Amino acid sequence: MHHYLIKRIIYLIFTLVIASMFVFVVVNATPGESAEVLARHLYIGLEEIAPPELIAEVSERYDLNKPILQLYLEWIGGILRGDLGYSILFNKPVNRLLMLHLPPTIFLTVVAMVFATTTGLVLGIFSALHQNRILDHIIRVGTIFSVSMPGFWVAVMLILVFSMWFGLTPISGYGGPPYIILPAIALGLHTMASITRIMRTSMLETMNKPFVMFAKAKGLPKRRVIVSHVCKNALLPVLTIIGTSFGTLLAGSVVIETIFSWPGIGAMLMKAISARDFVLIESTIMMVVFMFLIVNFVIDLLYHVIDPRIIYD
Amino acid sequence: MIELGIETWINFWKSNVCETDWYYRLRQRPDLQIVFVLLVVVLSVSIFAPIISPHDPAVQDLYGKNQWMSADHWFGTDYLGRDLFSRVVCGLQTSMTIAVTTIATTFVIGTMIGSYAGYKGGWVDNVISRVIDVFLAFPSIILALALVTFLDSGILNMILMLVIAQWASFARLMRGQVLVEKNAEYILSACAAGLPGWWILIKHLIPNCIMSVVVLATLELGHVILTISTLSFLGLGLSPSIPEWGSMINAGLDSMRTAPLNVVVPGLSITTVALLFNLAGEGIRDIIDPGTDAEGSLWTF
C-alpha cells in the first residue's frame, strides 16, 4: 500500500509538471499575436489596429520577448513559492483573483454534484428495482436524452422557460438559493444521467450475485437486502464516475458561468482568453487540472477503504 | 477458375455476414435498425446539404425576420430573416465534417499508439502511458480553451484541436484491450510459430481488439458534436460566417423571448444527432458484447 501510494504521488507530480509545460508552451507559442491582442484590450479599442511601436512596448513591458524557458522557470518558481503570477487584464495578483472567483465555482460545482449524485442514485435505484416496467423505460429515455443535450442549450432553455416565461427564477447573477437552482441543474444534468445509468446497471448486476441470494434465503426483509447488501456493493462504479465527472463539471462551469454571469473562474477564464492575459490563463488552467487530479487521486485511494478486496500492485 | 459474378458476391455475403453472431442479434433489434437507417439519413443530408436546403442560408430578409413555421420556411426564420431550416441543414454539414474527420483521425492515431504501447510493453509502454495520463488530466473543453489561444479559428484548426483533446482516450482503451488479448493462446502460438512482431500486431491483435474502439468512436462522435457546438457557442474555433448550431444559438439569445425558434431549432438538432450516435454506439456494444443488458435500447422488445 505504501509503495503504491508513493508511486501514485510520483506519477501525480510528473503529470502536473508535463501538463504545466504543455499549457505554457501552447499559451506562449505566439507571443507577437498575444502582444497585439493585449495592446488592443489594454490601450486602444478592440476594433483598432495596433501600431508596431505599441506592440513592441507591450511586449517589452509584459516580458513577452523573453525566452520561453526563462519565462517558464520564473512562472513555475513562483508557483512553488505560492505566487501564481500577476494578471495584466485585471491588474491584480492571480492569487487574489482566484481567492475571489474560486469559491463561487466550487460552490456551483459542489451543488451540481450533490444534485447529480442524489437524484442520479435515487433514479438509478428506482429504475433497477422496477426493471422493464413503464417508469424504468421513462427514466431510461430521460437519461439518454439528457446525455445527448448540450449543457449550454439546457441552460438557455431553462432560462427561457423558468425565468422568461414563468418568471420563477432570476435570469442570471450571483446570490442566494434562487440564483443557484438553474445553473446547478444545467451543469449537473449530464452527470445525473450517467450516475443514473451506472447505478441501474450496477444494481442489476449486484442483484444476481450469490451473496444477495444468500441474504434473501436467510429471510432478511427485502428493504434490508436492498439497502445494506445491494446498494452498498453497487456503489463502487458510481464512485469512479463521480471522480471523472468532477472534471466534466469544472469544465462545464466555464460555459454555464458565462451564460448565467456567475462570477467564477470559468467566466474569468473566458475573459482572460479573449484578452490573452497569458499568466492568468496558464495559472487558472493549471488550477483546474490540479483540482481534477487531486479529486481522482483521493477517489482512487477511497476505493480501498470502501472495497478492501481491491489490492494495489 | 473462380467466376466473380453477382452470385459469388451474394454467397460471400451470406456465408461471411449473415451467419455471424452480430448479424443475428441485429435482426432481433428493430429499434437499432431504425437508428441505423436514421443515421444514414442524417449522413446523406449532411453530404447533400447545399442541394437539400430550400433557401440560401446566408440570404437575409429583414422584413421577414423571426417568422414562425410556415410552408415556405419550415422551421421559421431567424433574427435576420434567414431560413432556419437551411441554416440547420448547413450546420449539420459543418458539424458532421468536423466530427467525422476528427474521429477518423483520432481512431487511427489512438489505435496505432495504444496497440503499440500495449504490445511492446516495458519502457515504451511506460512513457506512452504517462503521456496519455497527461492528456487525460485535462477536461477536453479546458484543453481546447488552452489551444484556442494559439490556433486561429477555422475548420482545420478546430479538427486539430479536437484530435489533440480526444486521442488519449482511444489510445488508453486500445492499450488496455491489447494488454488483455496479448496473453491469449493464439497470440502465443503465433509467437511460437516465429511470426514477426508487426505481423502479429496488425494481423491478429488489432482486428481482435478493434470493436470496443469502434463503440467508443461512435459514442465519441456524439460527444464531439456537443463539444463543437459548445466551442462555437462560446465564439471560439469557427468564424461567425460559417453556419454552425452553437453559434446560431448564441446569436439567437437576444431575441429568444419573442422568437424562441432561434434557440430551440438548433438545440433540438444537436440533441437529435447526438442522441442517434449515442443510441448507435450503445447498440453496437450490445450486439458485439451481449453480456450487457440492452443498455442502448429505449424500449426492450
* A92 strand-pairing partners: A87
What cell was used for B27? 435482426
Q: Terminal CA-to-CA distance of chain A, rounded, Å?
A: 8
Contacts of A195 (CB under 8 A, 6+ apart): A116, A117, A120, A121, A124, A238, A241, A242, A245
Among chain B residues, the shortest Cα distance to A279 is held by B146
Show pLDDT as tens, one digit a residue, over chain B (301 residues).
556 677 777 877 777 776 677 777 778 788 888 889 999 999 998 888 788 777 777 777 767 677 777 767 677 777 777 777 888 888 898 899 999 999 999 999 999 999 999 888 889 998 999 899 888 888 888 888 888 877 877 888 889 989 998 899 999 999 988 888 888 888 888 888 888 888 888 888 888 888 888 888 998 999 999 999 998 888 887 877 788 888 888 888 888 888 888 888 889 999 999 999 999 988 888 887 765 544 444 444 3
CA distances from B193 to A119, A278, B148, B188, B196 (A): 56, 57, 50, 9, 9
Considering the domain A96-306, what is its CATH architecture?
Orthogonal Bundle (1.10)
Answer yes or no: are the C-beta atoms of A259 and A155 closer than 8 Å.
Answer: yes
A15·B263 Cβ contact <8 A: no
B141·A255 Cβ contact <8 A: yes
Burial (Cβ within 10 Å: 0-12, 13-18, ≥19) of residue A198:
buried
Check CB contact of A161 with chain B, cutoff 8 Å. no
Side-chain-facing half-sphere of B240: CA atoms under 13 Å: 5
> Residue B243 has what pLDDT?
84
Over residues A117-151, the pLDDT tens digits come to 999 999 999 999 888 888 888 998 899 899 899 99
A145·B271 Cβ contact <8 A: yes
Answer yes or no: are the C-beta atoms of B94 and B238 closer than 8 Å.
Answer: yes
Check CB contact of A164 with chain B, cutoff 8 Å. yes
Over residues A13-23, the pLDDT tens digits come to 988 999 999 98
Answer yes or no: are the C-beta atoms of B223 and B212 closer than 8 Å.
Answer: no
Q: Which chain A residues are Cβ-neighbours of B233 within 8 angstroms? A: 150, 152, 255
Over residues A162-184, the pLDDT tens digits come to 888 887 778 777 777 888 888 99
C-alpha–C-alpha distance, residues A167 and A47, integer Å: 37
Q: Which chain A residues are Cβ-neighbours of B141 within 8 angstroms? A: 251-252, 254-255
Burial (Cβ within 10 Å: 0-12, 13-18, ≥19) of residue A146:
buried
> Residue B291 has what pLDDT?
58
C-alpha–C-alpha distance, residues B278 and A283, integer Å: 35
Among chain A residues, the shortest Cα distance to B248 is held by A153
Among chain B residues, the shortest Cα distance to A142 is held by B298
Calculate the average pLDDT of chain A.
85
Among chain A residues, the shortest Cα distance to B229 is held by A150
Over residues A181-235, the pLDDT tens digits come to 889 999 999 999 999 989 998 888 888 888 888 888 888 888 888 888 888 888 8
Higher per-residue pLDDT: A62 or B273: B273
Q: Which chain B residues are Cβ-neighbours of A148 within 8 angstroms? A: 222, 226, 271-272, 274-275, 278
Fold of B71-292: MetI-like fold (1.10.3720)
Residue type, B88: V
The domain spans of chain A are: 2-84, 96-306
The domain spans of chain B are: 71-292
Q: Which chain A residues are Cβ-neighbours of B133 within 8 angstroms? A: 11, 15
C-alpha–C-alpha distance, residues B39 and B23, integer Å: 18
> Residue B296 has what pLDDT?
45
Q: What whole-number percentage of chain A has pLDDT above 90?
A: 20
pTM: 0.87
A209 dihedral zone (left: phi>0; alpha: psi -120 to 50; beta): beta
Q: Which helix (H) or strand (E) holds A93?
A: strand A92-93
| Residue B295: strand, helix, or coil | coil
Answer yes or no: are the C-beta atoms of A182 and A260 closer than 8 Å.
Answer: yes
The set of long-range contacts for A78-86, using a CB threshold of 8 Å and a minimum separation of 24, is A79/A20, A79/A283, A79/A286, A84/A279, A84/A283, A84/A287, A85/A279, A85/A280, A85/A282, A85/A283, A86/A279
Predicted ipTM? 0.86
Which residue in A263, A103, A252, A267 sits closest to A192, CA to CA? A252
Answer yes or no: are the C-beta atoms of B250 and B235 closer than 8 Å.
Answer: yes
Contacts of B65 (CB under 8 A, 6+ apart): B77, B78, B79, B80, B81, B259
